[in-house]
């Protein structure tokens, strides 16, 4: 069972990917994690990626796919995997498809966790983080006992720059321009499944498991 998770930043696809990985005993693969692992272990692919990252450049799609294929060739992926954060663009999806076809493989499901922009802005702008211990809260869903104060260490809670409405809107604009076209791409291949991401995360997961069986 090879799965790609789709959805806007803040839609909760990372949380769902972890839950899928746990339930079906398959690895949750994030491109950020495999880049870091390859660089830390000093692999040839990692060193090649590091050259681009050190210059502040994006790692080319072909190299990203090579690093990804190297990861999914490992024994723990023999029953499948969940890809989180890749592909992000149509060219990346095309390179991934073409390389998987060469080894007689393919993606089985592309799951889109669908959440309207307005919900994402409200969801993320309600997040608060502790300046000292890093604990996270949400002013509606997981409020601290005392407004603006961390339950765990008593330090101040702040709205991180990443979660500010203007930052979230910028990230959503990039998502709509670059990543949303993947929904059409996988729909045409007949493997797209959409779930309502506005409901409780347990209900989102229930909808996903109903699809995966």
Catalytic residues: 13, 88, 127, 160, 171
30 - beta bridge partners? 84
Copy the structure tokens of residue 127: 């997040």
109 - beta bridge partners? 3
- Name 124's Cβ contacts closer than 8 Å, sequence gap at least 6: 10, 163, 165, 168
């Amino acid at each position: 069972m090879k799965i790609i998770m789709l959805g806007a930043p803040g839609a909760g696809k990372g949380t769902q990917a972890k839950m899928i990985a746990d339930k079906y005993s398959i690895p949750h693969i994030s491109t950020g994690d495999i880049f870091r692992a390859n660089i830390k272990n000093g692999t040839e692919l990692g060193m090649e990626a590091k050259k681009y990252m050190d210059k502040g450049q994006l790692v080319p799609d072909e190299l990203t796919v090579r690093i990804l294929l190297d990861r999914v060739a490992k024994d723990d992926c023999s029953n499948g995997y969940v890809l989180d954060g890749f592909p992000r663009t149509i060219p990346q999806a095309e390179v991934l498809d073409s390389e998987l076809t060469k080894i007689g493989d393919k993606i089985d499901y592309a799951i889109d966790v669908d959440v309207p922009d307005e919900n994402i802005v409200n969801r993320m702008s309600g997040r608060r983080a502790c300046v000292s211990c890093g604990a996270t809260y949400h002013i509606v869903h997981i409020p601290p006992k005392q407004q603006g104060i961390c339950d765990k260490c008593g330090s101040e809670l702040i709205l991180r720059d990443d979660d500010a409405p203007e930052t979230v809107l910028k990230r959503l604009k990039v998502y709509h321009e670059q990543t949303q076209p993947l929904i059409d791409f996988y729909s045409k291949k007949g493997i797209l499944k959409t779930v309502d991401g506005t409901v409780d995360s347990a209900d989102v997961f229930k909808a996903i498991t109903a699809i995966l069986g």
